[in-house]
Structure 1
């Protein structure tokens, strides 16, 4: 009996400690793909990741076609769950941060709306509740805001260049029949994508031989003055580190 107990203690000492990170996804497309790449790299390195997602965050994940990758990251194992608003308004699993069950909380991408709530002490979504609990528990917080610079380049979800549709006026719209979710529509003779239905599968992109459908088109975006001010307020919160890019998270863990 004592020998067995001793062996168990030795095994516990030899077994490497499990590394855990809590990762928050908010309603922003900017830095979203890069955030997924970093989460996948952390999983390859042996980290368990609990994903805290807002309702808007889940919507953006769907629109950009990342639902399968999210399920692979948060596959349902212990400390590898997806925590979303359906789990309760108080987000009970965020209490793990108070108990220091994670070595860090990452919010990437952090939308302007989420940053605004955080700096004003509002905790009403899984990411903002997780943030509040992390501060109370003394857990390191890493945040990648979308609106860090006055102007930045970002990428669109699937969209239709209606000028191309106007030029061709196809008799048969191939993307319309190819779309599995009913998101692709023809409105006034021109293609249109209803993002509330889009699953980001790129079927429309592949079906359109005229090049009217675009995906991850690079566009310029401007941050509002109040969003830039909120990021500066965020920098002033003890225990929070603001990062420029999701890849920087790898250097912090």
Structure 2
């Protein structure tokens, strides 16, 4: 076990499922004086941004020592992941862990900040907790901002208020109806608040099914020495408490 104070490495990947709960758990641990370094992939950064969570994440990992926000732009080698080899963290958490990330870990591929950090943690003997997005055959997830075109089509607006209120140009008109370019969206909800007819939806619950290969990869993940697979981000609180109290 590391002789250093409570420090966690947190990996974020390109998944919306479990994302809000993961951030809530992260904030809870930060309030308990855990230093959290975030290792985020490019897809993870884009997803966090479109769900409006980037500001909250950068508040947790504010750039101070051991509270860095590590992105692909910090270099392909992800040098800060070397701390895990030196056991400078109590644990590494990957939540949410996308199906793509799980597949890479199972096959030993390390080419993003999260997968490089996980590889270094396993080499260094740091406990790894992972919350896969595709651990169950069926699950319920939430959407980013979207336009209900049926509502939009039912109203002929002389001026589209979401179009004029969007600060990034993500909201646009396609064939006369609203559309959100998620690559530009920062999840600010200005479009949602400004539409008088409620055509903009956010965090709509949808059913999803995991593919057989993704389910198999989660099983393989659970067999890797040093990896603990959990169902929900909230399960992390007890695991981290047990880990730190045993020092």
Determine if contact 2:12/2:40 at 8 Å carries over to the other structure: yes
Q: CA deviation at 1:168?
A: 1.2
Determine if contact 2:4/2:88 at 8 Å carries over to the other structure: no
Q: TM-score, normalised to structure 1's length? A: 0.93
Q: Structure 1, residues 197-229: CA drift from partner, whole Å, max 9, x if none?
A: 001000000001111100001111111111111
Q: Which runs of 5+ in 1 are unaligned?
A: 1-15
What is the DSSP-based 3-state SS (H/G/I as helix, E as strand, rest coil) of the residue aligned with 1:246?
Answer: coil
Q: CA deviation at 1:18?
A: 2.0
Q: Structure 1, residues 86-135: CA drift from partner, whole Å, max 9, x if none?
A: 11111111010010000100000000010011101000000000010000
Q: Which runs of 5+ in 2 are unaligned?
A: 241-247
What is the DSSP-based 3-state SS (H/G/I as helix, E as strand, rest coil) of the residue aligned with 1:95?
Answer: helix
Determine if contact 1:169/1:189 at 8 Å carries over to the other structure: no
Runs of 4+ with >3 A deviation: none
Tell me how far apart the structure 2 counterparts of residues 176 and 59 of structure 1 sit (CA, whole Å): 21
2:26 to 31, 39, 52: 39
1:60 to 39, 47, 57: 47
- After superposition, residues 69-218 of structure 1 pair within 5 angstroms as 69-218=56-205
Two-structure CA RMSD over aligned residues (Å): 1.0
Structure label with greater radius of gyration = 1
Tell me how far apart the structure 2 counterparts of residues 55 and 152 of structure 1 sit (CA, whole Å): 25
Q: Does 1:245 align with 2:232?
A: yes
Q: TM-score, normalised to structure 2's length? A: 0.95
What is the DSSP-based 3-state SS (H/G/I as helix, E as strand, rest coil) of the residue aligned with 2:76?
Answer: coil
Tell me how far apart the structure 1 counterparts of residues 4 and 222 of structure 2 sit (CA, whole Å): 31
